[in-house]
Amino acid sequence: MASVTSLTASVHQRLADALSAALPEAGAADPLLRRSDRADYQANGILALAKKAKANPRELATKVVSEITAPDLISEVEVSGPGFLNITVTDKAITENLAARAADGDRLGVPFAEKAGTTVVDWAQPNVAKEMHVGHLRNSVIGNSVVKILEFTGEKVVSRHHIGDWGTQFGMLVQYLIEHPDALGHQAADASDDTAAGEEAMSSLNRVYKESKVLFDSDEEFKTRARRRVVDLQAGDPETLAIWQRFVDESKVYFYSVFNKLDVEIHDEDIVGESGYNDMLAETCRLLEESGVAVRSNGALCVFFDDVKGPDGNPSPLIVQKSDGGFGYAATDLSAIRDRVFNLKADTLLYVVDARQSLHFKMVFETARRAGWLTEDVKAVQLGFGTVLGKDGKPFKTREGETVRLIDLLDEAIDRASAIVREKAQDLSEEEIAERGAQVGIGAVKYADLSTSAVRDYKFDLDQMVSLNGDTSVYLQYAYARIQSILRKADDVSPKAHPELELADAERALGLHLDQFAETVAEAAEEYAPHKLAAYLYQLASLYTTFYDKCPVIKPKPPQDIAENRLFLCDITARTLHQGMALLGIRTPERL
């Protein structure tokens, strides 16, 4: 199994060679190669080089053309306009390239990144004893895809689910449970029924949360006991910890049921919540104070920034320790950085967190830099995502103005998708309809989230998401299933590449796009941009549709070699769709 050099990379290399032969003083100059509508590629780099060398660009272009010797790869080079090159590659090169990809299993010729490192990705971070909402959809779905894309490039990825499992509200919850030992009820009876168990866990957590809050707000003595309980918790008192653990465990039953429905795999050992850094907090503060990075201000330990001011114009510091001695979100995140850099040996820290937390991360990263925990060799990035909006363009809320429960959204998407699958199904059993319905519904939700750039807000519109036409996962899933059906039906033809055959325009366009898969994955990994992969896959499905309209594969049956080559194109398209969708975390059912 070997990685495949893309046609783009090969053409680029030939052009760069010809350029330096034609203009030695230019050294290793970039021909600026792009895919183009006029020919397969256009090179625009000669203009600037000619200007620099005070040469006539068209003359230089002509000279470069005369230096290109790659008859197997390039069939035509034409000088156009003021000195562009239009380049056409041979049909043979296209088919041979695809054949090499097809021989490379699931990797489809995609090379591993030259320099792989270790990235710790902080993603899917719900909060204990709280309902998951649409914001947690985003940090789960985007995080899941980015992890898969990075791993595919050979990066070592460590996931960290920084769940909210610590803080003052746990004093209230634990105290309440001590005083009302049966309030959480018992573990859901049938743990195998994941959804029911999750629902039951969440509803008792909700109940305890509400009841204890009412008490906390109305009963001063309870409030005092709850506050004392926080101190016990942070001091590691065993009884307090054991009860706190019940809240965590019960919440995990719920989290896992949601992640399961969302078809996102989470591993228990990667769940290291805020509590996981408890032992480091005091030391983190001591180190910051000793080094002068943080200073005491009105009793609180603060880090100041010239460019961060509150609405009143006064500096607005990052508070690492409150004046009452309590540690907050910043102390935990700073401790997590120390753990991730020094213990996990990360050279990249990635945080898939709501863009509304970007000031927090800006200050946390800057503090860690000042403290020397983040050095020049370590990159820290927040992949900040935008807000999910309702159809009215406002942050998504229920009609009653409450935040929408993630699980309700997912159920609705699955219901809608199941209806579509049922309508189109010819030979599917009820069980199959349910399974496909879930794959289509969840795919639709994920794709809608992943197909726009993460920083942008987007509207949660189920009608659009499950539409069969347009830029949706359903469209891609149907394209995939249609190809599978063709492959099943073609019983006297097998996919086989025939590099000697001339290709139709639609075949070339499809082939050249398939060639770009590796570059697309590399770019999506480099920029943490799954939407680039989504756009690529959508275009792949569109080019396939055109090809399928213009170039009959089995009906009416073309000559055997053409049929084999077309079926080969079908097969590699399907495999690329499948792999690409898998990197987005979306299933591609074989039949729909």
Residues found near ligand ARG in the complex (CB under 6 A): 122, 125, 127, 162, 164, 333, 336, 351, 353-354
User: Which among 514, 495, 506 is positioned nearest to 562, based on CA atoms?
Assistant: 495
Residue 203: CB minimum distance to ligand ARG, A: 20
Beta carbons of 357 and 382 less than 8 angstroms apart: yes
What is the C-alpha separation between 31 and 52, in angstroms, rounded? Answer: 14
Q: Which is nearer to ligand ARG, 354 or 457 (CB)?
A: 354
**Sign of the torsion angle spanned by Cα atoms 311, 312, 315, 321:** negative
Residue 338: CB minimum distance to ligand ARG, A: 13
Q: Angle at CA 206, nearest 5°, toward 204 and 211?
A: 95
Q: Which is nearer to ligand ARG, 128 or 540 (CB)?
A: 128
Q: Which is nearer to ligand ARG, 127 or 484 (CB)?
A: 127
Give the distance from CA 123 to its chain's centroid.
10
Residue 500: CB minimum distance to ligand ARG, A: 56
Query: Which helix H or strand E contains 171, and what residues bound it?
Result: helix 169-179
Mention every residue, 6+ apart, whose C-beta is less than 8 A from residue 322: 300, 328
Residue 319: CB minimum distance to ligand ARG, A: 15
Beta carbons of 2 and 101 less than 8 angstroms apart: no
Residue 45: CB minimum distance to ligand ARG, A: 43
Residue 336: CB minimum distance to ligand ARG, A: 6
User: Which among 547, 550, 544 is positioned nearest to 574, based on CA atoms?
Assistant: 544
Residue 360: CB minimum distance to ligand ARG, A: 7
**What is the residue whose two structure tokens read 């989470």?**
266
Q: Which is nearer to ligand ARG, 162 or 587 (CB)?
A: 162
Residue 212: CB minimum distance to ligand ARG, A: 20
Beta carbons of 169 and 416 less than 8 angstroms apart: no
Q: Which is nearer to ligand ARG, 91 or 333 (CB)?
A: 333
Q: How far is CA 492 from CA 487, 554, 561, in A?
A: 10, 9, 12
Token digits for 163?
A: 């769940």
Mention every residue, 6+ apart, whose C-beta is less than 8 A from residue 9: none
Q: Which is nearer to ligand ARG, 139 or 520 (CB)?
A: 139
Q: Which is nearer to ligand ARG, 125 or 275 (CB)?
A: 125
Q: Which is nearer to ligand ARG, 63 or 136 (CB)?
A: 136
**What is the residue whose two structure tokens read 């008490």?**
215
What is the C-alpha separation between 428 and 421, in angstroms, rounded? Answer: 9
DSSP lists the bridge partners of residue 79 as: 85
Residue 329: CB minimum distance to ligand ARG, A: 6
What is the C-alpha separation between 367 and 364, in angstroms, rounded? Answer: 5
Q: Which is nearer to ligand ARG, 353 or 581 (CB)?
A: 353
